[in-house]
Chains A and B, each alone.
Chain A
Amino acid sequence: MSKTDTIESLVSGCKAMERKAQEKLYQLTASKMLGVCMRYTNNRAEAEDILQTGFVRVFTRMDSYRGEGAFEGWIRKIMVNTAIESFRRNKRMVQAEDIQELAEENTPGLNVDELAYADLLNIVQQLPAGYKIVFNMYAIEGYSHREIAEALDISEGTSKSQLLRAREWLKKRIKLLEGGVYEEQHG
């Protein structure tokens, strides 16, 4: 059985609310989706809550999947939307500053590849809530500023300023981490 046949049978099984098909789909995608959810939250427990809510929505809204685009991408979008809802419910955007006032700081020599997954994820999770959601939506998921502004009910300028601040914040933290690693390795 080809991969396409497997996904199609899973989709039809999930649409029929067959528990075995649902479990199979969950086992195939849960780990990856938990990684997505963790980037939008401060801790693992919060990410697991979003994962649970997101999968319930996936299974109860299967009829809205028309087979257009990748099935995994459809599931991922539901997870991100669930995370956005959680953000809107619990968090407030960090006070936005005028984008012109933000001067881009040069931080050359960053080597992200050498960072461990867990360390990098830990840094992202420590981002202030507003920075974090805008950075994730723009840099990782590929949303435009207009889409982010609509989703979060903010202006496009705020979205841009949050993104710039998130980048600066991350670069500083990564540099600090690399320095520590360097000091541990060479010092």
Chain B
Amino acid sequence: MDKEFDNKLRDKLEGFHPEVPARIWDQIQNELDNKQETVVLGVQKERKIQWSRWAVAAMVLVAFGALLYNGNRSGEVLYLSNQAPEQMVPQDMAERAMPRSGESAAPGGKKLSDDIRTISRVLATTLQATERKTRVTTEELNSNQNHFALNTEAAQPTHAETMQNAQTEPARIGEKPMISDNLLASSVSDRDNPIIAQQAQLAQVEDLNMAGTGAEPLERPRPASDEEPVTQARSRFGVSKLLNLMVAQIDRRDEKFVSFSNDDEGSLKIDFNLAQAKK
């Protein structure tokens, strides 16, 4: 009885299809447009957040990778143009030493190749950290100017000219390493002796000539204290600045969310600007 009543009512009511006002469709369209805008904004915001997360994760990975890489390095540094590390140090020292000594500075910029120029510039920056140590040696070199000039052909303001001289005078090059080798061999045992240290520096300058000729430099024991500051300065320059460059590519605001720096001991520091993260 009740079922029959329900069915009759349902059949009757199902056939009722009232006319729908046109304004309802307009209102539905407006509501859909508003919702789509909200969704698009939400998706953009979500993508931005995801991108930021990936960027931060990548930077952290790079930072740790760089730390591990530098931590595991044995101290041997690869240089462009097959130049040994010691070649840069005397050149930098020579550049600073020549004006003080009053020797005539030959124009050397024309013949410099681009990669040597870049490396010289980079090393000039990185060696600021080790300037105190090298200055002592430079001053000692100045005091023994005649000896220095004798071995470096008295006019060697740049590495390029060194190379040129080495090429034009191959006969002398064959003699110099023997002298420097002898000097450095004694420097291992007498490292604390300042005179012998000077001679060691001179031997390094001679090696510069060797590299310019393409001849293989003579192997000799090298004091660890000379090489370590150069490596530290290089990593301090390279890692933090490289990471900051990466951050600048991603975060183009004046104040970055993440910034990298090195302290005096060479440790990499990561600074997070949380105020930027909220923007």
Interface residues of A (CB under 8 A from B): 17, 19, 22-23, 26, 30-32, 34-35, 38-39, 44, 48, 51-52, 55-56, 59-60, 110, 112-113, 115, 117-118, 120-121, 124, 138-140, 167, 170-171
Contacts and interface: CB of A to CB of B under 8 A. Distances in A.
26 contacts: A22-B32, A26-B28, A31-B18, A31-B19, A34-B18, A34-B20, A35-B14, A35-B18, A52-B24, A52-B27, A52-B28, A56-B31, A56-B35, A112-B8, A112-B12, A115-B12, A117-B12, A117-B13, A117-B15, A118-B16, A120-B9, A124-B9, A139-B9, A139-B10, A140-B10, A167-B6
Given A34-B17, A120-B12, 13 more contacts: A23-B25, A35-B13, A38-B16, A52-B31, A56-B28, A59-B28, A110-B5, A117-B16, A120-B9, A121-B16, A124-B9, A140-B13, A167-B5
Interface of B: 2, 5-6, 8-10, 12-21, 24-25, 27-29, 31-32, 35-36
B114 to A, nearest CB: 55
A19 B36 CA distance: 12
B17 A17 contact: no
Contact of B8 (A35, A113, A117, A121): A113
Nearest to B3: A139
B155 to A, nearest CB: 78
Contact of B9 (A30, A52, A140): A140
B171 to A, nearest CB: 83
Contacts, number: 81
Nearest to A44: B18
Contacts of A31: 17-20
B12 A56 contact: no
A66 B35 CA distance: 22
A34 B6 CA distance: 20
Nearest to A35: B16
Nearest to A56: B31
A48 B24 contact: yes
A105 to B, nearest CB: 11
A11 to B, nearest CB: 16
B13 A51 contact: no
Contacts of A60: 32, 35
